[in-house]
Homo-oligomer: A and B are copies of this chain.
Amino acid sequence: MAQLPNINENFAEWYNEIVYQSELADLAPVKGCIVIRPYGWAIWENIKTVLDKRIKETGHQNAAFPLLIPESFLKKEASHVEGFSPELAVVTIAGGKKLEEPLVVRPTSETIIHYMFARWLKSYRDLPIKINQWCSVVRWEMRTRPFLRTTEFFWQEGHTAHETLEQAEAEAKMMMQEFVNLAHNYLAIPVITGQKSETEKFAGADKTYTYEAIMQDGKALQMGTSHLISQNFAKVFNMVYQDREGKTAYPHLTSWCGATTRLIGAVIMTHGDQKGLILPPKIAPIQVVIVPIFKSENKEQVLSVAQKIKKDLINCNVSVELDDDENKTPGTKFYHWELRGVPVRIEIGQRDIEKNQAVIADRLGTKNSVNLDQICAEIQKTLDDVQQKLFERAKAKLQSHWFKKAKLTEFVADLDSKGGAYQTGWCQNKECEAKLKEYKATIRCLLPERTFDVCFNCDKKSITDIIVAKAY
């Protein structure tokens, strides 16, 4: 296994190598696609379990809609087709014959789900409809990177219909709060939330809320979005119902995708270090690895204590691996599991056993001897500590990358050379927004606050603060 590229000098290469070396994913023999290997997929399953529970607790139900969508559906909503048509993969032949109407591999499912909503929705009594689906989608992207942007990626997409605009807006905001909760309390990634500009919003949305994080290299990553969908969708799909007054009405729609396999990339880029991955304990497939340290004369005794520790930890719901491979040195094992970001390592040898102790070493560098009788409680405490420290550390990094600047001229040099998130004012004119293109930067989001009087670019009054950054 080659050493990882330097994280400070070559972040992009460091990232790619971590993905492959720690066996999260491998390149697939299809343009822009990856194979998500068991270790990577287990992280995704953990993320999915956390969010799926909350999706259900907030009153949504999972369902499954077809992968293939008639091409004409995509064309019904003008801004939607404009946004997605350059990226579509199209099935033109099926069962040995040319299809009369081509089928698109879903890039997102608004159209087919809205078509079904129209079939199901008759009366205000049928509202709200609150559906979610876990699936993969395909977008033919020019440049791809493992997890961050792949031709096929996995996600959840929630789709809801409501009687009033207020209810729809409350839904879109509530789900954004759930995503922030996932990021903060499970992924240990602090985020910035706000609204997308007209230019950056979802193709077919009236409003898009977003949550964004700043990676260690100072670039922003859009983690997920929640949309108030244009009522135009309800109209083109003829989604009419009888309202409380007996009149025909159109529902108000939302869609939201807060979790995609991109989040695995966010975890890598937020927490990783020169030794490799660092996984937040709450989503780590392996939370604890036990490395027994023995010679042939005490092997049996050390292994039996190690097995006992493993059993104890399983009993208190810790996900644990015992690395008892006799062909590897402890040092090789340390390296192996550090690369894979296992949050806590237990070292146990003859001398530890004599003192009824084990050494707990966390992935952030803290090492302690603990009494074997308290091993479960100590491990739980250490896991909680690591989770907390990762969040605090990431929060400090975010703050150090977050600058307040009144004018573009003041931050353009730094933006270009070091990245970072620049909070500034904006007049909400597209011309000023377009100016950022020259520096390959974008408005990541509009903030709900207004702390600047004047636009970052022109002399007009600022309407709201924004975050400007280069993004993945």
Contact = CB atoms under 8 A, between A and B. Distances in A.
Interface of A: 26, 28-30, 33-38, 40-42, 44-45, 61-70, 73, 85-96, 102-103, 105, 112, 115-116, 119-120, 131, 135-136, 138, 140, 142, 151-152, 154
A139 to B, nearest CB: 9
B94 A91 contact: no
Report the 4 A-B pairs with minimum CB-CB distance, sorted nearest first. A95-B140, A38-B61, A36-B64, A33-B66
A64 B30 CA distance: 14
A115 B33 CA distance: 14
A112 B64 contact: no
B90 A93 contact: yes
Q: Is the interface of A mostly helix, strand, loop or mixed?
A: mixed
A67 B43 CA distance: 20
A116 B67 contact: no
A37 B131 CA distance: 9
B66 A116 contact: no
Given A26-B119, A61-B38, A66-B152, A90 B94 contact: yes
Given A26-B116, A30-B69, A35-B116, A64 B91 contact: no
Contacts of A61: 38, 41-42
A45 B64 CA distance: 11
B85 A62 contact: no
30 contacts: A28-B66, A28-B112, A29-B73, A29-B115, A30-B66, A30-B70, A30-B103, A33-B68, A34-B66, A35-B65, A36-B63, A36-B64, A38-B62, A40-B63, A67-B138, A68-B138, A68-B151, A68-B152, A85-B96, A86-B95, A88-B93, A88-B94, A89-B93, A89-B95, A90-B93, A90-B94, A91-B92, A91-B105, A94-B140, A105-B105
B94 A92 contact: no
* Copies per assembly: 2
Contacts of A41: 61-64
B94 A89 contact: yes
B92 A63 contact: no
A138 B102 CA distance: 15
Contacts of A65: 28, 35
A154 B94 CA distance: 19
A152 B73 CA distance: 19
A323 to B, nearest CB: 15
B37 A67 contact: no
B152 A67 contact: yes
B37 A68 contact: no
A29 B66 CA distance: 9
B90 A92 contact: yes
A211 B70 CA distance: 36
Nearest to A45: B62
Question: Which of A67, A92, A102, A112: most chain B Cβ within 10 A?
Answer: A67
A140 B63 CA distance: 22
A41 B88 CA distance: 27
